[in-house]
Amino acid sequence: RHPVKLRSPSTNGMALFDYENNKNYRIFIACEDKKVYAFTKEGNTIKGWRFNKTDHIVSSKIQHFRVNEKDYIVFTDKLKTYILDRKGNVRISLTEHFPNSGNNNFVLENKIPESDPRLVTTDTTGMIYFIYFNGKVEKLRIKKFSPDHFFDFQDVDGDQFKDFIFVDNYHVEVIKQNKSTIFSHDFNQKINVRPIYFHFSQTDRKIGIVSSLTNEIFLFNSDGTLYKGFPFHGKTLFSIGYFKKSNNKFNLIVGGEDNFLYNYSVQ
């Protein structure tokens, strides 16, 4: 069946889900006709998929979450969040809708003592929204950010609670849920790439930032200090790992200028 000819030009990237971890993959893609299409891995349309259409074009990532043995397919257009079941039926109707920030996805926070499971994201001003699986919506204002900000929700300091990460223009800021700042940093040029995260152990967490305009990559410790030796030259997202398990140093791989790949040794 592949390649599959779409009925309308696509408006976002393909999403691939494996509900039962048995390689019975499902492929989802949104198109200009405001419909979201579902295919089997062979390229056949899924006959049981019943979703009609969105109010506006979907350019965001389509995501899948499983909470309490239930599946949730989540995506947004510019003004509305859609939360569906496997067949495309509305699983959750929200009490409030908002203009979703274009650069950011939803992050799942599983049940903690202070909260039931919830999805976390931001609107175009950086307002943080918490979406619960009963449809309730809460919001939190830390400060205002530009519509182009990057947002994530990760445990940066290893205390088992997720923190708010904002990257906006020249600035990165990591903030705890009680609104106290863990660290902030200003760059010489605008940051236009999402931050990346590295978990070396339960408490050793680091944040990677790419400054493609200055051809530099930064690796921040959880307290905001730069890891020794950084910044390095590079202008793409990078990965850190071992080429061999017997190595006592990490390898950092990053793309640079003139289409070169760089391999740095990191102690």
Give residue 166's pLDDT band: very low, low, confident or very high (50, 70, 90). Answer: very high
Task: Determine, yes or no, domain membership for 123.
Answer: yes
Per-residue pLDDT of 56-74, as tens digits, reads 999 999 999 999 999 999 9
Task: Determine, yes or no, domain membership for 267.
Answer: no
Closest CA to 6 of 24, 33, 25: 33
Q: What is the pLDDT of residue 245?
A: 77
Task: Determine, yes or no, domain membership for 232.
Answer: no
Residue 147: pLDDT over 80:
yes
Residue 25: pLDDT over 80:
yes
Residue 144: pLDDT over 80:
yes
Assess contact for 152 and 168: CB atoms under 8 A: no
CATH number of domain containing 66: 2.40.128.630
Closest CA to 147 of 100, 207, 188, 83: 100
Q: What is the pLDDT of residue 111?
A: 75
Task: Determine, yes or no, domain membership for 219.
Answer: no
Query: pTM, whole model, 2 decimals?
Result: 0.92
Residue 174, number of CB atoms within 10 A of its CB: 24
Give residue 243's pLDDT band: very low, low, confident or very high (50, 70, 90). Answer: confident
Q: What's the number of domains the chain is made of?
A: 1
Task: Determine, yes or no, domain membership for 151.
Answer: no
In which domain, by residue range, is 102 found? 1-141
Task: Determine, yes or no, domain membership for 3.
Answer: yes
What is the overall mean pLDDT for the chain?
94
